[in-house]
Amino acid sequence: MDRWMNFFFLKDTTDVQNSHVGTTDENLDRGNWSSSTDYLLSLIGGAVGLGNVWRFPYLAYKNGGGAFLIPYTIMLAFAGLPLFFLECSFGQFASLGPISVWKAVPIMQGVGVTVVLVSTLVAIYYNCIIGYSIYYLFASFQFPLPWSECFEWSDENCSTQPKEYCNITSANGSFVLVNSTWLNENNATCEGSNIFSISVQSPSEQYWDKVALHRSSGLDESGGVIWHLALCLLLAWIVVGAALFKGIKSSGKVVYFTAIFPYVVLIILLIRGVTLEGAREGIEYYIGTHSDISKLSNAEVWKDAATQIFFSLSTAWGGLVALSSYNKFNNNCYSDAIVVCVTNCATSVFAGFVIFSVLGHIAYISHKPVSEVAQSGFGLAFIAYPEALSKLPISPLWSILFFFMLLTLGIDSQFAIIETIATALQDEFPKYLRSRRALITVVVCVVLYLFGLPCVTGAGIYWVNLIDHFCSGWVLIIAAVLEFVGIIYIYGGNRFIEDIEMMIGKKNCYFWLWWRACWFFISPCLLTIILVWSLVTFSAPSYGTIPYPVWGTVLGWFILAFCIIWIPIFAVFNFAKAKGGILERFRQICSPTPDWGPYLECHRGERYKNQESPQRIQDHEGSMI
């Protein structure tokens, strides 16, 4: 009984075992990855997500096809990889989460709070998308697939073929509208000027809106909870909670499946896709002869390349810092960063062939150009691609594989997000929470599930889209720019390089030329340009052609402000907490705290030999907050 009381009521005891710490771990307070492969696959799983499949292929097609790979690769080298390596090194060096790691520069502590808040909001809606995938996965165990035809749930606008009518003159001189069926039965013809089409919706589109989502007319009309989605969301959270129950010790094993399985499915779908009629035309649109290098003169193309690289690598979310904090001190985070970034980008390009080979087929059989069937985001994942799969032989099999792939792609990205939140909490309150990792996981999953229920109402998709529009854009770019300012300019770029060399070994000056150029100038300037350009070209959020009410847009700006307001709040708070005059206080909050440095004494060397023990300070003084 005492054991359970201690578990739930957070009494400070020493007899509660750290289930997330192994006997062979280097850091017996926080634990380490069981192997470097666990860490590498967790990084790949966190970085390679839904955006690689449903966003990059469409961006490449829209922005010049194969020519888009030029700005994409340049942005990877100048913006994505430098920030990725910086965050991995930062977390690994101090063995601390995304808030506590800012002991290096206390004035920037609010940046850590901001990224954790953003991760929390993203976790709420991202698991809803995983819930959609689970629903479609279950729905795929039917033949025929429920979105293959206009069944009883459809309305008069549903059709698998365009509806064409002919305006003819009857015997008495009146005008009559007849369809193509009547013309065929009566051996009649229609003059071209008298033919017109009526807009229709495909079965997959109506199934998505009417059956899966029960979508309302707008954000103003929420309706009740859609219980089949609420149950799918609950199942998604149960899977996440179970995988993270023992922290990295359990999730590090699950990712062997969730990170590798999507590649198996992508290969299977590609083999099937390229054998379909019309596949070649689809691939030509994606990255072949339809490539248009002249589009590189358009600034929008470069902005799209930069934002896709930035977001697909999951930088500035706090996840890279959190996952890397469990590395052993001398892990080669440099090679890990290279491998993950290259793998992530190669996956995006490869997924494009999978997507456009099948879209080319649906364009072929529907007698439409590829441009009319190409979509991104929800439209691709839950309308266009399912429609294409429904037209294949043994369509349920292909649909099951596709949606199970989406589930695994999303779920390991969610592992990284929840690990970020849990790590931040246990590092800020180690005296009470570090030995109760299972409790943290359960509480976080339950609370976020309850907060996610509005996203599974009739207006749920509008909430998902609104949060995504405001939380996964400017906030993260602001946080990334401030990371460069804090680590490179305030903490000191040269000092940071020396910290990295303590972990991966001494490197010659030529090795650091590229990283210095990017960290000190190129990367922060690029991100600042992207931020300004995004703000200048801001457009009010909408879901398809449905605009948001004014109060919805205002709420979105409020959410954005709520996330970033903690940056100045914690700067002022730490300034007020410091001692001395104004200049002395400013110096203190721009300098590392006494316990900053390698977590374990055996790694501190001469540079940090006078460092105070982080564990002793935590036990006596508590968290930074």
- Across 340-353, b (16+ Cβ under 10 Å) vs e yields bbebbbebbbbbbb
Q: Judge whether 412 is annotated as a binding position.
A: yes
- Tokens matching residue 532: 């300004």
Q: Are 396 and 71 in contact (CB under 8 A)?
A: no
End-to-end CA distance of the chain: 32
Q: Judge whether 325 is annotated as a binding position.
A: no
Pairing of the two strands 546-547 and 542-543: antiparallel
CA distance 14 to 6: 10
- Across 26-50, b (16+ Cβ under 10 Å) vs e yields bbebbbbbbeeebbbbbbbbbbbbb
Q: Judge whether 395 is annotated as a binding position.
A: no
Q: Judge whether 475 is annotated as a binding position.
A: no
141 half-sphere exposure, CB direction, 13 A CA radius:
5
CA distance 581 to 355: 62
Residue 583: count other Cβ atoms within 10 Å of its Cβ.
8
Q: Judge whether 413 is annotated as a binding position.
A: yes
- Tokens matching residue 612: 């105070």
CA distance 474 to 55: 18
CA distance 442 to 422: 10
CA distance 258 to 74: 29
Which residues touch 201 (CB under 8 Å, ≥6 apart)? 157, 158, 159
Instruction: Identify the three-state secondary structure at position 215.
Output: coil
Q: Cα 440 from chain centroid?
A: 22
CA distance 107 to 440: 28
CA distance 116 to 422: 10
Q: Judge whether 178 is annotated as a binding position.
A: no
Q: Judge whether 94 is annotated as a binding position.
A: no
Q: Judge whether 318 is annotated as a binding position.
A: no
CA distance 464 to 559: 13
Q: Judge whether 47 is annotated as a binding position.
A: yes
Which residues touch 576 (CB under 8 Å, ≥6 apart)? none
CA distance 619 to 426: 13
Binding region: 45, 47-48, 52, 312, 344, 409, 412-413
Which residues contribute to the annotated binding site for Na(+)? 45, 47-48, 52, 312, 344, 409, 412-413
